[in-house]
Every structure is written in structure tokens, then in C-alpha cells.
A and B are shown apart, each in its own frame.
Chain A
Amino acid sequence: MAKRSPHLGARLVTEVSGVLVAAVGVVVLGGWFTHTERLVRLNDTQVPMQVNTAVALVCLGVALLILPIPHGRWAALPAGIAFVIGAVTAAEYLLDRSLGIDTLVYDPWITVGVDVPGRMARNTALCLAVLGAATIALIRRRPGRTPILVGVASSVVAGLVLVALFGYASGVSAAYTWRTSTAMAPLTAAALFVASVGFGAAAWRAEGSRAAPRWLPLPVAVGTLAVTLFLWQAVTSGAPGRTLSVDRAAGGIVGIGLFVAVLLAVATAAGQAAIARRRQAEAAQGQLEARHERDTVLREAYAAVALADDLATGFYGFASAATPAVEFDRVAFIVIDEDTAIVAAVAGEAVNDVPAGTVMSSSDPVVADLLHSRSAVLVDDVQQRYPGSPAARAGMRSFIATPVVIGGTPRAMLAVSSSRRDVYDADTVALVNELTELTGGALYTLARLDDERLTIARLRELDELKNEFVGVVAHDLRSPMTVIGGYVDTVLLRWDELDDDMKRDLLQVVSRNTRRLSVMVEDVLQVARIESGDFPYEIKPFDMGALVTRTVSEMNDASPGQLVCATLPPSLPLAYGDEDRLWRVLTNLLSNAQKFSPEGETVDVGVVARADEIEVSVTDHGPGIPEEDMPRLFGKFSRLAGPPGGQKGTGLGLYICKALVEAQGGRISAASVVGSGTTMRFTVPRARP
């Protein structure tokens, strides 16, 4: 989409003519200084180009070269020199005395066809002065008439030198001598013609439009009139005595010249009008096509979004539809929610810089500006306007953001960006705005729909988990109930056959399973309370050493076969937590350790005080926990392999322990070596002195 400079052609003409003119001047100067006659005049009868003329031509050429570049005002210097040379020589002719400029630079070694050695022809002097002055006028750039004046001056010079060249071609010496014996050299005439074309082009370019300037018919007419005038001059001055035929010829030339001037001016104007009409028609056609292309983009984008089932698909279609009309590296749909902005979908080559799911703060400068203005934001260079922002760090330069306003509140934004700066103009902003207005609401609905689907999936998963929980609990509660029912039935049915010892033994099984059942029910209720958040803690300083000692002796009393040994430091700082809840944790860990310990092996309990916590460890010498089971250890119903032949629990014990310990600001962890045992550790914060 590179914009073509409106006056590239005019600039080219100016530059090329500058090169030609300067080259002619340089070559002739070289000829003078190296005494190469063929370089200063083409044959022995011709008048040579004078040194001053050559210097002035070099200056004009350089001025033409400099004019179109950004530092064009420096062209005033060479143009000024050319003007001074021309003007001073003209003054010499007017005053009829030497002002010392003719041989100032060089004393010529050819003096053929000149009145004063080294002095250029008066018509040459006039041309140089006019072109020099015109250049300076162009540089000063008074708005309004300057380009017209330069155009007219160029056409006058062109007319003058064309007549001179005609004189050389037809042998009418008066066309190039202007009533003196000093003639304009043919090379000078040719070079001045090229220069006049160059300055004409510069004047054209100064109008700043690709179309021909409106004033073009004026220099055309003036140029024709100049040709007429100088031809008339040649005819009238060429003949020594005025005769009827000369007068007739002169009159004819003037008549035809006027006619041709008017004709050319009218033709030029008509041509210009025709070109302007065609351009207008082309522009209208172009606008129509652009509008059609725009409509296609809008329609396709809308269709892609409207027919999509989810945001990713809809947004991909949206981005594909927008691609021919908007240049971008990435385009993102960002959902704004209270104080965060989440990239809901992203498309384009640079999607990975800011991937979908990225969360931005609403204090992000771009988001904040958008929320503040509630209208499209165009940034020409993100690096400059928001240096150090996330957008700048992601490499964005050009950036358009448009808000999706729903119910009066900006709910989302569309962000289009490119890694090149200054890519977007007002038209692109308007198109992106239109795209947003057309599809923003639907995209937002798709984003919401995706969210709802996720929520439903999550709820479904939770529901399944709950069902599973109910199933597992029901099964686990059933086992002890079946045992209790079976034993009680057996005792009742065989009351008379069984002796008292047997009855006691069977009822002890019933009692044990009843306890087991009540522990399970307690576990389930506790989980329900922990998960609903309805679980009070009474946190205060307490003596962890005393708690461990008491719990260990309880355990040893209950199951004397499995010895628990506690190792306590001589003094312990106070712990800070809920003693009853921690008793529950410790009991659970100890009974687990006992369950897994082989008969006769001890379970070891250690207590260590650290800088800000107290750690309790329980170590058994059982089979250990396989590596792959470790991650599930503290999960809800982590039904890992139970102790050999032992009873199963609900699998909720460690889950409850973890919840209890963490609620009091502690941590719980397990370390195990298969074949040699497991160590469970939990920590409690220390009380502040």
C-alpha cells in the first residue's frame, strides 16, 4: 500500500535537466581550461560559449539538482550566482561600459563573434538573470503566484532560446544575435532550453498536485507569444532597410503567433478539463470499488461470527475476513470484566506474543485509555506513546483498539496491531470501528457462551465427583454394617449353642465395627463441614510436647501390640493452633502408621522446634508408598492399597488431616521409601512470645 508521491514525474524531470545543464557547463569550462576548442564550440565558424555562461549554467544545474531535496533552500546560493552573472552582464549592455565581470574568471583565447572579449550575448545574460531570479522566488515560496511566475519565466526563456535555435537551423543570424555582433552560442541555447524545462517542472511540482496546474494555459500562451515576439524581432532587425515584404512578414508572424497562442491556450485548458473529468470518474469508480470491497469484508466477517458455534472458530473467521482490508500481525478480542481484561481470542502471525488467556490489568494504559474515551483509540507508535507497557513489550507499534459497548458499558475490545509503525489511517480506524459495531456483540456473546460451557463442564465434573463420593461412602459404610448384622444374627440364632466366651468374642467384633462405622460417619460429616467452610477452630498457644506424650500413651494403651515411641527435646516452645484438631491429626497419622507397621516394629514420633514453627514426624517401618501413589496421597478418597488383611477406611483421613493442618497455617507432607517405611510430617506455627 505504498503511496506514490504525487510529483515523482515532475521531480524526475527537474533532476535530469539539472544534471544535463550542469554537465554542459562543466564540459565547456573543461574545454576553456584545457584549450580544447571542440569542447567550447562545435565548429570553427560558431561563437563559443563564454566562460561566465558556462559557470552560470553549472550553477543553474546544481540549483535544479538541489531544489527537490529536503534542503532545497540551499539552491538559492548557485541560483544567486547565476542571477548576478546574468544581471551584471545585462547592466554592462545597458550602461555600455565594462563592469569587469567579463574576464573576471578567465581571459578567453577565442574572441570570434563577440564585441568585448569574454562577454556573453545580451539574450544569454537576460535568460540567466531571469532563471536565477525565478529560482530564488521559488525558494522563498510566497504562497499564491510564485509558481505561476516561475512557469511564465520558464516559458519566456524557452521561447527565446527556441527562436535562437531556429535561427541556427535556418541561417537567420538575427534570431540569435539581437542587433549586436555577440551571438548566443547554439550549445548555450540548447542548455538554456533544458534548464527552462527543468524550472517549469519545478514550478509544476511546487503546486503539490499530480495533475497539471490550473495555470498551465498561461505559460503555454506566454511561451507562444515569446516565440512570436522574438521571431518578429529577428525579422525586423535582420533586414538593414525596412521593406514592405519585411513588414508583411513581421505582421504575418505576429498575427499567426497571436492566433496560435490563443489556440494552444484554449487547447491546453480543454485538455486539462478532459483529464480532470477522467480522473474524477476514475476516483469515483475507485471509491465504488473500495466501498464494495469494504462491504464484502463486513459481510464475510459478520457471517463468520454469526454462524460460529464457539469464539475460537468465530474469531478465526472474523480475522480471515478482515485480512484483505486491514494489515495486522495480530488481532485480539479482549473481554473486560470489572478490573481485569482477558484476551479471549487472538489471530494473526504473532499470536504467541500475547496468547489467548492472557490476563491484563484494567490499569494497562491502553485498556485504561479505551475505557476512558469509550471510542476507538489509534496509536501510531506504541513504543513512543506507551513505552514499557505490555503492548510495547510484545513488539506492537501501530495499534487500533475499539470498544464493544453493551448496555452502555464497555464489555470488550477489539485490538488490531502491527509491528510496523504508522500503518493505520483514519479509513482503517473507521473500518475497524464498523467491524466492531457489526460483530462485537456477537463475539462477546460467543465468549460468554464459551464461559458458560466451561462452567457447566466444571459443575458436571463436580457433580460426578460428588456421586462418586456418595457411592464410595455408601459402599464403605455397608461393609461394617454387614459385619455387624451378620454377627448379631449369628449370636441371636445360636444363643443356646454358644458359650459365654464365644458370645463375648463375637460381640467385640460388633463393637469394633460399630466404632469403625462411627469414625467413618464422623469423617464424612467432617469433610462436608470443611468443604462448606462451617468448621470452627479454637486457636491459642498450647504445649505440643504434652499433646504428643498424651496421644502416644493413649495409642499404646489401645493397641499394646504396636509400640509407639516418642522422642521429645528437653524443652519446647509453645505452639499456636487448635489442640483438639491437632490431636485428631496426630491420632490419624499414628493409627495409619500402626496399621502399616509389621507386628513387633515400633512407630517413631519426633518433635523439632524451628525458627517459626514446630514440626511433628511419624515414622513407620511398613511397606512404604509407591512413587506413583504419592500425588494422590492427600486427595479425597485416595483409596490406595490398604494394609495386608486390614480394614479399609473411607480414604478421607489424610484429606481431613491436610485440611486441618493447612487451616492452622501449617504444612503436611509425606516421604517414603518402598520396603523400608514412610515418614509423615506436619508443622504448626510457634506462638509469639
Chain B
Amino acid sequence: MEDDVARVLVVIEDDADFRRLIRITLSLDGRIVLDGEAANADQAIAIARESQPKLVILDHYIDGTVMGMELAPLIKAAAPNARILLFTTHDLAIEAARQPAIDRYLRKHDLALLLPTVCDMLGLA
């Protein structure tokens, strides 16, 4: 059973409501376990280091001076095995492609694609 459980860390800046929406969306698949939520960069790094997640869902606009795009390499450093999904409102396709720490990029209005993308990144059939 242990192998079936995938650990996912969610970082969302703006909005508790949106964090809840991600939680509801991912809860459809019982194999995915949300291991932590962070509202800003410091929390995100601390949780990543402690729980060593397989996947981090990262928003670009978050509280504080560090943007999600800049936070990605720091998270990679804290949790080297984590894959990072940049999940944002804004069109950052080009910027995301240029940042090696970011593995995938998805826009928030494509919410329906979130679960398939996460499953794909975690290697779940």
C-alpha cells in the first residue's frame, strides 16, 4: 500500500479558497496524499525539506518578495527528488520552459487537466 501513496506538496500564495479547490480536485484519486500546504516561500522550503515530496504544485504569485518562478530552484535544492508543477493564472509558458527546476507548467483555467497532469507526473496509470 505504501507504494501506492504519492506525496504531494501544495504551495499557494493568494488564496485559501484555491488551495481548497486543489485539495478537492486531487481527492478524487485516492492514491494521492496531500502532505502539506504553504502560503509563502519560507513555509514552502521548510515543508519541502521535512517531507521530501515527490511533487510540488507551485503558484507564481505568492506572498513575499520571492516569486514562484524563483522559488522553484530553492525547492529543488531542499527536496532534490521532487518534481515541480508550476500552476498559475498567468501565461508564463516561455519563462517556465527556460527554468530547469520547473518540470511542468499548467494554467489555472485548465483545472480539468490538473488531475491527469499530476497522475502523469507521479507515474500513476
Please give me the residue from chain B that is nearest to A476 by CB atom.
Answer: B14
Chain B residues within 8 Å of A642, by CB: 63
Please give me the residue from chain A that is nearest to B22 by CB atom.
Answer: A486
User: Nearest Cβ distance between residue B5 and chain A, in whole angstroms?
Assistant: 22
Task: Assess whether A475 is in contact with B61, with CB atoms less than 8 Å apart.
Answer: yes
Of A489, A509, A645, A648, the contact of B112 (CB 8 Å cutoff): A489
* Interface membership of B74, Cβ < 8 A: no
User: Nearest Cβ distance between residue A501 and chain B, in whole angstroms?
Assistant: 13
User: Nearest Cβ distance between residue A573 and chain B, in whole angstroms?
Assistant: 44
* Interface membership of A641, Cβ < 8 A: yes
Considering only residues 5-19 of chain B, those with a C-beta below 8 Å from chain A are: 14-18
Task: Assess whether B21 is in contact with A490, with CB atoms less than 8 Å apart.
Answer: yes
**CB-CB contacts of A496-527 with B at 8 A, as 1s and 0s?**
00000000001001001100000000000000
Chain A residues within 8 Å of B16, by CB: 645-647
Q: A483-B17, A483-B18 are in contact. Are A490 and B89 (CB under 8 A)?
A: no
Report the Cα distance A648→B108, complex, angstroms.
Answer: 18
Report the Cα distance A110→B20, complex, angstroms.
Answer: 143
Task: Assess whether B39 is in contact with A483, with CB atoms less than 8 Å apart.
Answer: no
Task: Assess whether B21 is in contact with A486, with CB atoms less than 8 Å apart.
Answer: yes
Most buried by A among B17, B39, B108, B109: B17
Task: Assess whether A486 is in contact with B108, with CB atoms less than 8 Å apart.
Answer: yes
* Interface membership of A98, Cβ < 8 A: no
Task: Assess whether A486 is in contact with B18, with CB atoms less than 8 Å apart.
Answer: yes
Report the Cα distance A506→B21, complex, angstroms.
Answer: 9
Task: Assess whether A647 is in contact with B24, with CB atoms less than 8 Å apart.
Answer: no
Task: Assess whether B39 is in contact with A482, with CB atoms less than 8 Å apart.
Answer: no
Task: Assess whether B111 is in contact with A483, with CB atoms less than 8 Å apart.
Answer: no
Of A479, A482, A490, A641, the contact of B63 (CB 8 Å cutoff): A641
* Interface membership of A493, Cβ < 8 A: yes
Please give me the residue from chain A that is nearest to B20 by CB atom.
Answer: A509
Task: Assess whether A644 is in contact with B109, with CB atoms less than 8 Å apart.
Answer: no
Majority SS at the chain A contact face: helix
* Interface membership of B25, Cβ < 8 A: yes
Contact residue range for chain A? 20 to 34
* Interface membership of A355, Cβ < 8 A: no
Please give me the residue from chain B that is nearest to A506 by CB atom.
Answer: B24
User: Nearest Cβ distance between residue A260 and chain B, in whole angstroms?
Assistant: 110
Report the Cα distance A648→B16, complex, angstroms.
Answer: 11
Report the Cα distance A293→B108, complex, angstroms.
Answer: 79
Of A489, A509, A512, A648, the contact of B14 (CB 8 Å cutoff): A648
Of B14, B61, B109, the contact of A485 (CB 8 Å cutoff): B109
Task: Assess whether B89 is in contact with A478, with CB atoms less than 8 Å apart.
Answer: yes
User: Nearest Cβ distance between residue A505 and chain B, in whole angstroms?
Assistant: 10
* Interface membership of A487, Cβ < 8 A: yes
Chain B residues within 8 Å of A494, by CB: 28
Of A482, A644, A646, the contact of B18 (CB 8 Å cutoff): A482
Task: Assess whether B89 is in contact with A482, with CB atoms less than 8 Å apart.
Answer: yes
Considering only residues 37-68 of chain B, those with a C-beta below 8 Å from chain A are: 39, 61, 63
User: Nearest Cβ distance between residue B49 and chain A, in whole angstroms?
Assistant: 21
Chain B residues within 8 Å of A644, by CB: 39
Task: Assess whether B17 is in contact with A509, with CB atoms less than 8 Å apart.
Answer: yes
Report the Cα distance A415→B89, complex, angstroms.
Answer: 63
Of A490, A506, A641, A647, the contact of B15 (CB 8 Å cutoff): A647
Chain B residues within 8 Å of A646, by CB: 16
Report the Cα distance A641→B13, complex, angstroms.
Answer: 12
Chain A residues within 8 Å of B39, by CB: 644-645
Considering only residues 598-657 of chain A, those with a C-beta below 8 Å from chain B are: 641-642, 644-648
User: Nearest Cβ distance between residue B92 and chain A, in whole angstroms?
Assistant: 13
Chain B residues within 8 Å of A493, by CB: 112
A-B contact pairs, 18 of them (CB 8 A): A475-B61, A479-B15, A482-B89, A483-B15, A483-B21, A485-B109, A486-B111, A493-B112, A494-B28, A506-B24, A509-B17, A513-B17, A644-B39, A645-B39, A646-B16, A647-B14, A647-B15, A647-B16
